[in-house]
């Protein structure tokens, strides 16, 4: 009797391994572009390796929980499995196809495709192993629920940013689950007070009914179809697609001004090191036109603009914290970006902003380029509708709190709450000319 039982147990073990292998293959295939994108982000210095801590920590947590497993009730309802699995997979598809496109600008910060991959894995596990067996390992799923990419990024920022903070977060996420599960038991054993702990209840162990081999593999075609639909979902374009080659040398923290503009105040922001890395600099130059033009102002007033220059060592951090996160846009509506070709192969993006909280309407044009020494700069030029000399400009701030508020508005109220669908583009021509002259001035020095 022992030999058939051993053979049956071996067959069940191989079948379970095959089910998990199918899930892993489908997660890899359904999100292959996401994994390639994350690898590229790591290479670009975005710190996306911190995202890998969550799956590693979940696996270790599941193993630790399995080592302390207890007998479970032999309850199984295949109909409930199908309902729960279908709901979870549907939510994953909705996130990948409907929610992710709303957060194009915050794609690298949030990585909602990572969340969709977790939901696909959860739903697939329910179909292949059953609801009760899947949620038996709830600490591992809980860790994946809490340690989302956005939460990990914000935790790194809260700890001061940089490589040290990333390592600290990765160690915390990887170790918290196993330590919470095995730690108390190990401590009790060391103290000698846990001699009875960990013993199984007396009597024959009860085997929990699991999804049969036939029932599990009948779900495989559905999972393959869902993985195919997930693989077809488009991903936002990366910053590398609009990264231009800049001039040969840096001329300081800011930009050399073109003819017809004079330097005003300059402001440096030390908090840039915390958000963008310890070598990052952020400078804001207020500039004023030395000539008047009727097409820029009907009252022939000299126009004032702000040039904001962010210099970093890795282009990847610019994707993690996009331009929107350097302003308070919690109650603002921003127009969709418009691509504007400048000169020297540089391409800019133009947008308008209606800030209802501060009663400001402003326009901005930005471009990103690489300069000598692989320094990367994001240059932003801002103008406001108020053409008076002492006009108020939007403040440059680390907008992490405002970003969370804006993301919630986008989720709960839709794109209409944060998007200016009818921009007037009043300063488009002026900003195009100024940006073109500014780019040229970095090569010619004037």
Q: How does pLDDT run across 321-368, given as a tens digit for each residue?
A: 888 889 988 888 999 999 999 999 999 999 999 988 878 899 999 999
User: Could you give the angle at which helices 220-232 and 112-129 cross, rounded to 10 degrees?
Assistant: 170
The structure tokens listed for 254 are: 């800011």
Q: CA 392 to CA 388: how far, in whole Å?
A: 9
Average pLDDT, the chain: 86
List pLDDT tens digits, range 230-252. 999 999 988 777 888 888 766 67
Q: Residue 187 pLDDT > 70, yes or no? A: no
pLDDT average, residue stretch 434-443: 94
What was the pLDDT predicted at 289? 95
> For residues 129 and 209, is the Cβ–Cβ distance under 8 A?
no
- The DSSP call for residue 205 is P
433 pLDDT band (50/70/90 cuts)? Answer: very high
Q: CA 252 to CA 202: how far, in whole Å?
A: 76
What was the pLDDT predicted at 173? 95
Burial level of 372, CB count in 10 A (0-12/13-18/19+)? Answer: exposed
To which residue do tokens 């400048």 refer?
A: 342
Q: CA 391 to CA 372: how far, in whole Å?
A: 36
List pLDDT tens digits, range 173-183. 999 988 888 87
Q: Residue 193 pLDDT > 90, yes or no? A: no
What was the pLDDT predicted at 7? 56
Q: CA 428 to CA 340: how far, in whole Å?
A: 9
Q: CA 128 to CA 131: how far, in whole Å?
A: 9
367 Cβ contact partners less than 8 Å away, ≥ 6 residues apart: 242, 244, 342, 346, 347, 348, 349, 378, 379, 435, 439
Give me the DSSP letters along 225-289. Answer: HHHHHHHHS--PPPGGGGEEE--SS--SSS-PPPTTEEEEEEEE-TTHHHHH-TT-EEEEEEEEE
- Give the distance from CA 37 to its chain's centroid: 12
> For residues 401 and 313, is the Cβ–Cβ distance under 8 A?
no
184 pLDDT band (50/70/90 cuts)? Answer: low
Closest CA to 281 of 323, 310, 308: 310
Q: CA 232 to CA 218: how far, in whole Å?
A: 23
The structure tokens listed for 283 are: 């400078």
215 Cβ contact partners less than 8 Å away, ≥ 6 residues apart: 78
Reported in sequence order, the residue ranges of 291-344 that DSSP labels E, i.e. its strands, are 304-312, 332-334, 338-341
132 pLDDT band (50/70/90 cuts)? Answer: confident
Q: For the beta carbon of residue 395, count every other beta carbon within 10 angstroms.
A: 12
Regarding pTM above 0.75, the answer is yes
List pLDDT tens digits, range 360-415. 899 999 999 998 777 899 999 999 999 998 889 999 988 777 788 888 888 777 77
Q: CA 332 to CA 268: how far, in whole Å?
A: 25
What was the pLDDT predicted at 6? 53
């Amino acid at each position: 009797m022992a030999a058939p039982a051993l053979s049956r147990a071996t067959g069940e073990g191989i079948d379970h391994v095959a089910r998990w292998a199918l899930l892993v293959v489908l997660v890899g295939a359904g999100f292959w572009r996401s994994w390639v994108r994350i690898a590229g982000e790591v290479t670009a210095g975005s710190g996306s390796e911190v995202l890998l801590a969550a799956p590693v920590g979940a696996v270790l947590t599941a193993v630790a929980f399995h080592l302390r497993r207890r007998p479970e009730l032999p309850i199984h309802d295949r109909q409930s499995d199908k309902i729960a699995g279908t709901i979870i997979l549907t939510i994953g598809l909705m996130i990948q196809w409907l929610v992710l496109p709303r957060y194009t600008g915050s794609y690298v910060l949030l990585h909602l495709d990572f969340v969709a991959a977790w939901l696909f894995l959860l739903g697939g596990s329910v179909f292949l192993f059953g609801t009760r067996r899947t949620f038996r390992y709830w600490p591992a799923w809980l860790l994946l629920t809490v340690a989302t990419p956005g939460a990990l990024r914000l935790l790194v920022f809260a700890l001061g940013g940089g490589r040290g903070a990333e390592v600290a977060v990765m160690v915390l996420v990887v170790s918290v689950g196993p330590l919470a599960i095995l730690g108390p038991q190990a401590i009790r054993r060391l103290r000698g007070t846990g001699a009875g702990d960990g013993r199984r209840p007396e009597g024959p162990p009860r085997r929990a009914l699991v999804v049969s081999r036939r029932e599990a593999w009948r779900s495989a075609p559905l999972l393959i179809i869902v993985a195919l639909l997930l693989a077809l979902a488009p991903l936002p374009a990366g910053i590398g697609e609009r990264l231009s080659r800049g001039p040969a040398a840096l001329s300081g923290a800011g930009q050399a001004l073109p003819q017809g503009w004079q330097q005003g105040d300059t402001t440096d922001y030390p908090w840039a090191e915390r958000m963008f890395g310890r070598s990052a600099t952020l400078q804001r130059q207020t500039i004023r036109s030395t000539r008047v033009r009727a097409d820029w102002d009907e009252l022939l007033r000299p126009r004032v603009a702000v040039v904001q220059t962010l210099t970093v060592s890795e282009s990847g951090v610019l994707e993690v914290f996009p331009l929107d996160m350097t302003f308070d846009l919690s109650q603002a509506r921003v127009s969709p970006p418009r691509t504007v070709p400048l000169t020297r192969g540089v391409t800019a993006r133009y947008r308008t902003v209606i800030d209802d909280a501060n009663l400001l309407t402003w326009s901005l044009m930005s471009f990103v380029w690489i300069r000598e020494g692989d320094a990367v700069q994001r240059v932003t030029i801002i103008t406001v509708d108020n053409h008076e000399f002492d006009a108020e400009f939007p403040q440059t701030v680390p907008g992490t709190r405002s970003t969370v508020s804006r993301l919630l508005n986008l989720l709960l109220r839709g794109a209409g709450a944060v998007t200016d669908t009818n921009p007037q583009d009043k300063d488009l021509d002026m900003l195009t000319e100024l940006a073109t002259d500014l780019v040229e001035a970095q090569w010619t020095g004037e």
